[in-house]
């Protein structure tokens, strides 16, 4: 959460953070991570249903439509 | 060799050294550096929260947490997080870590086989070795 979304970043000591990033640089992390994220999911899009992962496919894969919980309930084999 | 970055120590165990090599060889620099940062940030947060995770297990969890995004880890049609957890679990069990007894209500995630500890978990059968 801290590395991807920045949660708690304000609470990290500046010098300590600098030392970590010097050894493990972020580079173009936001874009590269999103690319790796898409690449890891695009061949099994249905596994993202109901998770934060479907956000990523919805953003980057043209035509991708997430299956919502409402659609699954309405489309269930029950008559009512 | 003892490795300390920003005052934070990488645990010196055979499993840690092997996981580091494996992640470097099988993922990308992006995932490797991200996973190492995740370990350091997790350790910092743990200190602040007053919790004391097993540093070795924390390190291994961090190193495997995104492996499910890549082959050869993403070999099963399931959520990538579960891929990573399954591979971490296998890695640990193959190296003699014990499996905790099941707990009600799923309070532990799937990737938590753990070492014998003073908290009453069964001891492992073989001794652990450190990397010098």
A32 in reach of chain B (CB within 8 A): yes
B68 in reach of chain A (CB within 8 A): yes
Q: How many whole angstroms separate alpha carbon B115 and alpha carbon B100?
A: 9
Q: Is the pLDDT of residue B89 over 70?
A: yes
Q: Which helix (H) or strand (E) holds A11?
A: none
A3: Cβ–Cβ under 8 A, 6 or more apart, which residues?
A26, A29, B34, B37, B38, B41
A2: Cβ–Cβ under 8 A, 6 or more apart, which residues?
A8, A9, A12, B38, B41, B45
Question: What pTM did the predictor assign?
Answer: 0.81
Q: What is the ipTM of this complex?
A: 0.90
Note whether B15 and A6 are within 8 A (CB).
no
Q: Which helix (H) or strand (E) holds A60?
A: helix A53-60
Q: How many whole angstroms separate alpha carbon B74 and alpha carbon A42?
A: 12
Site from A14, A47, A51 to mutate, B interface, most B CB atoms within 10 angstroms: A47
Q: Is the pLDDT of residue B126 over 50?
A: no
Residues facing B8 on adjacent strands: B5
pLDDT, tens digit (0-9, with 9 covering 90-100), for A5-29: 999 999 999 999 999 999 999 999 9
Q: How many whole angstroms separate alpha carbon A76 and alpha carbon A58?
A: 23
pLDDT, tens digit (0-9, with 9 covering 90-100), for B99-119: 776 666 655 555 555 554 444
Q: How many whole angstroms separate alpha carbon A23 and alpha carbon A31?
A: 20
Q: Residue holding tokens 């640089």? A: A25
């Amino acid at each position: 959460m801290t590395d991807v979304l920045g949660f708690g970043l304000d609470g990290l000591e500046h010098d300590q953070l600098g030392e970590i990033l010097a050894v493990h640089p972020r580079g173009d992390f936001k874009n590269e991570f999103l690319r790796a994220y898409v690449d890891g999911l695009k061949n099994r899009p249905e596994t993202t249903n109901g998770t934060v992962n479907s956000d990523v496919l919805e953003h980057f894969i043209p035509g991708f439509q997430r299956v919502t919980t409402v659609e699954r309930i309405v489309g269930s084999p029950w008559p009512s | 060799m003892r490795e300390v970055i920003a005052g934070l120590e990488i645990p010196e165990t055979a499993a840690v050294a092997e996981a580091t090599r494996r992640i470097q060889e099988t993922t990308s620099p992006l995932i490797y550096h991200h996973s190492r940062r995740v370990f350091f940030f997790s350790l910092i947060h743990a200190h602040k929260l007053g919790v004391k995770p097993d540093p070795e297990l924390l390190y291994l969890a961090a190193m495997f947490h995104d492996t499910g995004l890549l082959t050869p880890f993403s070999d099963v049609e399931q959520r990538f997080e579960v891929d990573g957890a399954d591979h971490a679990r296998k890695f640990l069990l193959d190296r003699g870590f014990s499996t905790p007894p099941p707990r009600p209500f799923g309070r532990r995630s799937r990737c938590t086989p753990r070492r014998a500890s003073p908290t009453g978990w069964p001891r492992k059968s073989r001794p652990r070795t450190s990397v010098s």
